[in-house]
């Protein structure tokens, strides 16, 4: 199926600098029309209260599901080729159509030449059946997908090669379309028809027709959209990737970080559960705590806008509070001299002075006793023997 781009998003002007808000609508088993109705009602309710226009998180498929659908498109293409070789034109056209539908939801991970092969085979089937008008339409899509496409003259008949040359000139003469893609997070990779798109600004002129847009990021699910551009059309598109989260409680724990990763000031989780709608508001401001409310059915848009207005007012009041007054300076106390450390007695000067005096006294007494005349000790006689 073709992924419909909301007319509301297509017509929106470039976002102005200022406060921003990302809203993630989670509604199980809802149709595209139901989601569009809720989103438009929310945008209108926000505008009436002067709130920042929300950017909605797009729907996305898990990587394994995208790969499975791209693989299914390849299988259907091979089936169509076999049917074409057996001259089963109707069956081959049916298989080609099914391959295109499968590729519409898996084009972001499919080889870039898969779409070209599908269009080329459809053109060949119509051409061999004598339906030149349908063949020209299919061949024109080749150059819409790849303006540099060159037919293989060793595989195609000279008549088809000549027709492709004429169609190339006709497609190049059409007014070019202009596509501008704004993505969140800003460092996501944008590809159009399998090739990196538009440089850093994600803006480029391209041939009118059908194109596959894919936006990917390592921390988010890949978004895939199939676009139809008319000649001269200028299309501005906002793509907000879906975080890899399981439920509301997990989102609550990292909501502020997710908002900061988007580069947004606010993140709103809106989940329809039965007859009630659970809403979780999270600010990217440091230290902010997520707050949750429940909205009654039939009044979701007004309830979300009203609660968001209260959240913004409370956050703004916190931010604008004046800083607390600094306490008056206290006199600096005079420095207190630290007491000298107490030295042990055996390191005191008087201890060693006493020891020295005692030793000197002992030596003196010993010498006196040795030199005394009445002593039986040794005598020192000076003179010749």
Alpha helices by DSSP H, listed for 225-299, are 248-262
pLDDT of residue 295: 86
pLDDT, position 75: 93
pTM over 0.85: no
Please name which of 173, 162, 93, 167 lies closest in space to residue 136, comparing C-alpha atoms. 167
Rounded to whole angstroms, the Cα distance separating 341 from 113 reads 88
Structure tokens at 357: 């005096």
Provide φ and ψ at 372, rounded to 5°: -70, 145
* pLDDT computed for residue 208 by the predictor: 85
Write the CATH number of the domain with boundaries 63-175. 1.25.40
Report domain extents, the chain. Answer: 1-57+244-318, 63-175
Q: What is the pLDDT of residue 248?
A: 66
Radius of gyration for the alpha carbons in the chain, expressed in angstroms and rounded: 43
Task: Determine the length of the chain.
Answer: 385
| Percentage of residues of the chain with pLDDT beyond 70 | 78
Q: Give the pLDDT confidence score for residue 373 in this predicted structure.
A: 52
**pLDDT by residue (tens digit) across 212-227?**
888 888 888 888 888 8
C-beta pairs of 81-87 under 8 Å, 24+ apart in sequence: 81/121, 84/121, 84/124, 84/125
Is the CATH number of domain 1-57+244-318 1.10.3470?
no
Q: Do residues 308 and 295 make contact, with C-beta atoms less than 8 angstroms apart?
A: no
In order along its 385 residues, the chain shows pLDDT tens digits of 333 333 333 333 333 346 788 888 887 666 778 888 888 999 999 999 999 889 888 877 777 888 888 889 999 999 999 999 999 999 999 999 999 888 877 776 777 788 889 999 999 999 998 999 999 999 998 888 888 888 888 888 999 999 999 999 998 888 888 999 989 888 888 988 878 887 667 888 888 888 888 888 888 888 888 888 888 899 998 899 988 776 666 777 777 788 888 888 888 888 877 777 888 888 877 667 778 888 887 788 899 999 888 888 887 765 554 555 566 666 666 666 666 666 666 666 667 777 777 777 877 777 776 666 555 555 555 444 4
């Amino acid at each position: 199926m073709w992924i419909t781009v909301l007319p509301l998003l297509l017509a929106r002007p470039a976002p102005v600098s200022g406060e921003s808000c990302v809203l993630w609508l989670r509604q199980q088993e809802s149709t595209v029309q139901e989601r569009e109705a809720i989103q438009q009602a929310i945008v209108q309710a926000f505008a009436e209260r002067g709130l920042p226009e929300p950017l909605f998180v797009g729907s996305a498929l898990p990587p394994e599901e995208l790969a499975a659908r791209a693989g299914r498109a390849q299988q259907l293409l091979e089936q169509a080729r076999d049917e074409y070789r057996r001259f089963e034109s109707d069956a081959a056209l049916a298989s080609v159509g099914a391959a295109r539908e499968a590729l519409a939801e898996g084009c972001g991970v499919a080889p870039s030449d898969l779409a070209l092969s599908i269009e080329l085979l459809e053109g060949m089937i119509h051409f061999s059946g004598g339906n030149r008008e349908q063949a020209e339409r299919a061949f024109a899509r080749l150059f819409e997908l790849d303006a540099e496409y060159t037919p293989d003259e060793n595989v195609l008949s000279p008549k088809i090669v000549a027709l492709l040359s004429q169609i190339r000139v006709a497609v190049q003469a059409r007014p070019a379309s202009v596509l501008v893609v704004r993505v969140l997070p800003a460092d996501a990779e944008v590809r159009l028809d399998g090739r990196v798109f538009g440089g850093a600004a994600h803006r480029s002129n391209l041939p009118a027709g059908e194109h596959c847009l894919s936006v990917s990021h390592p921390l988010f699910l890949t978004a895939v959209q199939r676009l139809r551009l008319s000649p001269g059309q200028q299309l501005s598109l906002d793509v907000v990737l879906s975080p890899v989260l399981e439920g509301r409680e997990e989102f609550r724990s990292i909501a502020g970080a997710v908002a900061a990763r988007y580069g947004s000031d606010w993140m709103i989780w809106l989940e329809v559960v039965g007859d009630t709608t659970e809403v979780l508001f999270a600010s990217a401001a440091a230290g902010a705590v997520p707050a949750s409310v429940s909205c009654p059915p039939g009044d979701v848009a007004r309830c979300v806008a009203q609660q968001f207005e209260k959240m913004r007012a409370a956050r703004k009041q916190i931010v604008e509070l004046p800083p607390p007054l600094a306490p008056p300076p206290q006199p600096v106390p005079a420095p207190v001299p630290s007491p000298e450390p107490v030295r042990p007695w055996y390191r005191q000067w008087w201890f060693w002075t006493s020891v020295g005096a005692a030793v000197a006294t002992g030596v003196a007494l010993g010498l006196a006793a040795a030199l005394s005349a009445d002593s039986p000790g040794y005598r020192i006689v000076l003179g010749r023997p």
